[in-house]
Amino acid sequence: MIGRSRAFKDLIAVLAKAARYDANVLIEGETGTGKELAARAIHYDGPRRAHPFLPVNCGALPDTLIENELFGHRRGAYTSADSDQCGLIAAAHGGTLFLDEVDSLSVKGQVTLLRFLEDRHYRPVGSTSERAADVRVIAACNKDLTALARTDRFRADLFYRLCVIPIRVPPLRERAGDVLLLAEQFIRAAAARFNKPVVGLSPATEAWITQYHWPGNIRELENFICQAFLMYDAAAIDVPAPPTAQPTSAAPASLNYRSAKEEAIAEFERRFLRKAIERAAGNITEAARLIGTERRHLGRLLKKYDIARPLAS
């Protein structure tokens, strides 16, 4: 997980707290914001890190086989059951069961999950004895589960079982300053994957991608960067804003005047320094001369904003 915005730092602080307590977690956020990464951060920063992290797409669980998928079955439970088979819960023993798109569970699926969450006991299909499960449950959805529960489209009792620790992953448009940082990381990843030299973004491209609202969030940004990196062979990626990309001012992470002002100034300084380093071709002394400051002072500013020299091949 990469970021330096206030919204991102607040999220990291919440994830660190959630990792300390072995309670159910409900992660809400728009599509592409990184909810599974947040769940993995909780798991691997907590006491269950040495045990499995098992992600499950609830939308892919067949309603007729929901109990078999979760709890497994005993040999002879039905015609094709020629051997015992453990379910997802047994496979995640000691670790974390991540239920993605939990809002897509059917009514039967919700009842089945609720029954398990009440006491962490289950019965494999075809078995007469119960088993205990040592599993932490983290659920995620991209819809407002509170509203769904209020309108009886999701069981309220299941919602309360899941939402012991609620976490909201902010959309990319609320993470002022993180777009360029993520873009650089995606460029490096694409360069390593496709064996191409690392390049930077043109100032014009930087300008519009930092203002665009990215409805698909991080997933959309990653897809855009990968496409642009593969299709452009110039020294810098220079992609005009598409007609569908109507740039909008990034929403401030805080409505507090002082905080919003500090964020705006920090973003201006960060972009100004990047331009200076780029114009000086990575020469810190020359960049300091261009902006009229001492090299030592510029060095402190670059360290403050975690700005490196232009990406090199």
**Domain-by-domain residue ranges, the chain?**
6-170, 176-304
| Residue 313 predicted with pLDDT over 80 | no
| Residue 191 predicted with pLDDT over 60 | yes
- Mean pLDDT, the chain, whole residue set: 86
pLDDT tier for residue 20 given thresholds of 50, 70 and 90: very high
How far, in Å, are 53, 84, 120, 154, 258 from residue 39 at the CA level?
A: 9, 30, 20, 22, 32
pLDDT digit string, tens, across residues 218-266: 999 999 999 999 888 778 888 887 665 644 444 454 555 566 666 767 7
- Top mean pLDDT of 15-24, 223-232, 281-290 is at 15-24
Task: Report helix, strand or coil for 175.
Answer: coil
**DSSP strands (E only) in 18-113:** 25-28, 53-57, 72-73, 85-86, 96-100
Query: Cβ contacts of residue 283 below 8 Å, gap of 6+?
Result: none
pLDDT at 82: 67
Classified by CATH at the fold level, domain 6-170 comes out as Rossmann fold (3.40.50)
**Residue appearing with tokens 């491209």:** 205
| 43 closest CA partner among 59, 67, 27 | 27
| 196 closest CA partner among 229, 237, 221 | 229
Check whether domain 176-304 has CATH 1.10.8.60, yes or no:
yes
122 DSSP β-pair partners: 131
Q: How far is C-alpha 229 from the geometric centre of its chain's CA atoms?
A: 22
